[in-house]
Amino acid sequence: MNPIKKNSKVISKIIIYLILLVASVSFLLPFIWLVRSSFMDIGQIFILPPEWIPRPFRWQNYPEALTAVPFGRYALNTITILIFVEAGVIITSTMSAFAFSRLRWKGRDKIFSVLLTSLMVPYVVTLIPTFLLWKALGGINTFLPLTVPAWFGGGMFNVFLLRQFFLTIPYELDEAAYLDGATPLQVLWKVIIPLSKPAILTVAIFTFMSVWNDLLGPIVYLNDPDKYTLAVGLATFVGMYTGQWNYLMAASTVMILPPIILFFIGQKFFVQGITLTGLKG
Amino acid sequence: MRKLELKWGIILALPAILGFLIWNLGPMIASFVIGFTDWSVAGSPEFIGLANYKEIFFDDFIAKKSIIVTLYFAGGSVIVSMVTAFLAALLLNRKIRALPLFRTIFFLPSIVPAIANAVVWLWLFNPDFGLLNYILEIFGLSRLQWIYDEHQVIPSLIMMSAWGMGYTMMIFLAGLQGIPQQLYEAVAIDGGNWWHKFRHVTIPMMTPTIFFNLVMGLISSFQAFAQPYLMTNGGPNYASMLYCYYIYQNAFQYGRMGYASALSTILFIMILVLTLLIFKTSSYWVYYEGGRGR
């Protein structure tokens, strides 16, 4: 390679790293800002130009913020909802995805494409009649409206994702099992599920994120503070403690931590799952 | 065997099919019907024909403003997020060190819960003590009012949504990594430079991914609710009255279930028309391998 070309290669490399560095700093800045404020005295937060090192280092913001409102109760509620939703989503979306990819039956693909249209229906559009239905059934202020729907296929997004994955498994495996006298249920349990653990884990992670982040559902269905989820609890906290930014930042940091930890643990599956949804099916 | 597959196929698909009927189709039809009534939380509903729609289109200036604001926000955030995500994916699709680190940094904001997101950005946007105004001052620029100004609030929210473009970027990245290297080599052999590669390989090969992100991005940005609910209350002067928030206000704060249902029918039609439009035009600009358009 001639030296001029080599030089320009080096320069373009440097430029790329420079852009990446600046972009990374701006993407991280809100996080740094959040964490730094969560350890500060309320007075120091307002100092301009901004200071980056908390002094004094007020770690007490955390216990104080978390005991100002019953965050433990909120966490327990969130986890309760989470367990029921996860179970419903994982069981019923695996079942449906199996039926829509590994079993041949009349009308299968037509029904599947009709069901997929539900992805285009905004949550609010169905929210009002669903709310009125739950009201008639006496389900307001219970966790039922937030958990029961998960047991009906677990959302077409998850069915789609699992189906995409199931389609990559060789059909010879099913056929061999059927020749040995297996029933479809046994094929699902003994052939497909063991091979699909990464995809099922991906669905579990996505489900965690959506329950953890859900705001509209709990706001609409839960009005007793004892039933609040973390997201709603924090939202009311924001309303109550508008001046106490260090508390708000501490509580927000706690809220952010579980998804981030989960992301780092399941990063591999997460990336796979996102890739899978982007593939055309 | 066939009979067994049919039996189990229907049994196993039943939850999803029932779910579609109970939680999607049923409520949609119900919502459409309720839109013709004056259903309120208290009192019995009465059929009032097109009165709700008449009110939306002729009397309710907030509804009209809300539609415009929502289109502005959805269009803006989809374009800005997609461009940011595409550029980031292009940068990450090179042979660079510490790729997983950079990828994680760009992705992380997208998993921040809406409520925590709102707390952080309320503070960043703060006109007096916020970080953003401080940065503007460093560069000698004048301060902005951000979400506290009628004209700046939507651009501010668009900027905030661009910060959370991580999912879109990951899908773009996966798309870029799926482009066969031979195609680039072929362009290089013909003497093409980076622009030719980008214009005649990257862009055409990425159109299915762009299409996917466009549709998903549009649908999700039409559903934005947390920003007005947590940060702006739809203000100032209804300039951030995003449509879903307006529906929520009517249904659950004013108790006007019938009116809110009519509003949501309009939202559904808007999304349907836009998606159909994108699907219809896709045969002109989306390239599928093997030349088969869908």
Encode pLDDT of A97-128 as tens digits.
999 999 988 889 999 999 998 988 888 899 99
Region A67-94 average pLDDT = 94
Indicate the residue of B106, B129, B244 with minimum beta-carbon distance to A124. Answer: B244
Question: Å from B137 to nearest chain A CA?
Answer: 10
Indicate the residue of A46, A115, A124 with minimum beta-carbon distance to B248. Answer: A124
Cβ contact (<8 Å) for B230 and A263? no
Q: Are B201 and B179 in contact (CB under 8 A)?
A: yes
Give the pLDDT confidence of A228-265 residue by residue, as tens digits.
Answer: 999 999 888 887 777 788 888 999 999 999 999 988 88
Taking CB atoms and an 8 Å cutoff, what residues of chain A touch B27?
125-130, 133
pLDDT above 80: residue B138: yes
Q: Give the pLDDT confidence score for residue B289 in this predicted structure.
A: 60
Cβ contact (<8 Å) for A234 and B268? no
Give the residue on A whose Cα is nearest the Cα of B105: A24
The secondary structure of B247-264 as a DSSP string is HHIIIIIS-BHHHHHHHH
Q: Give the pLDDT confidence score for residue B140 in this predicted structure.
A: 86
Give the pLDDT confidence of A189-223 residue by residue, as tens digits.
Answer: 999 999 988 889 889 988 999 999 999 999 999 99
DSSP at A225: G
Domain boundaries, chain B: 61-291
Cβ contact (<8 Å) for A275 and B174? yes
Region B154-160 average pLDDT = 95
Question: Å from B203 to nearest chain A CA?
Answer: 16
Q: Give the pLDDT confidence score for residue A1 in this predicted structure.
A: 52
Model confidence band, residue B97 (pLDDT cutoffs 50, 70, 90): confident
pLDDT above 90: residue A12: no
Q: Kindly report the number of other CB atoms within 10 A of residue A38's CB atom.
A: 24
Question: Å from A37 to nearest chain B CA?
Answer: 10
Cβ contact (<8 Å) for B12 and A188? yes
Cβ contact (<8 Å) for A184 and B268? no
Quote the CATH superfamily of domain A69-240. Answer: MetI-like (1.10.3720.10)
Q: Give the pLDDT confidence score for residue A132 in this predicted structure.
A: 92
- How large a percentage of chain A has pLDDT more than 90? 49
Cβ contact (<8 Å) for A153 and B257? no
Question: CATH for B61-291?
Answer: 1.10.3720.10
Question: Å from B122 to nearest chain A CA?
Answer: 10
Spatial CA neighbour of B4 closest among A109, A193, A192, A186: A186
Above 0.90 for ipTM, yes or no? Answer: no
Q: Show the CA angle centred on residue A35, arms to residues A29 and A36, nearest 5°.
A: 85
Taking CB atoms and an 8 Å cutoff, what residues of chain B touch A188?
12
Region B115-139 average pLDDT = 88
Domain boundaries, chain A: 3-61, 69-240
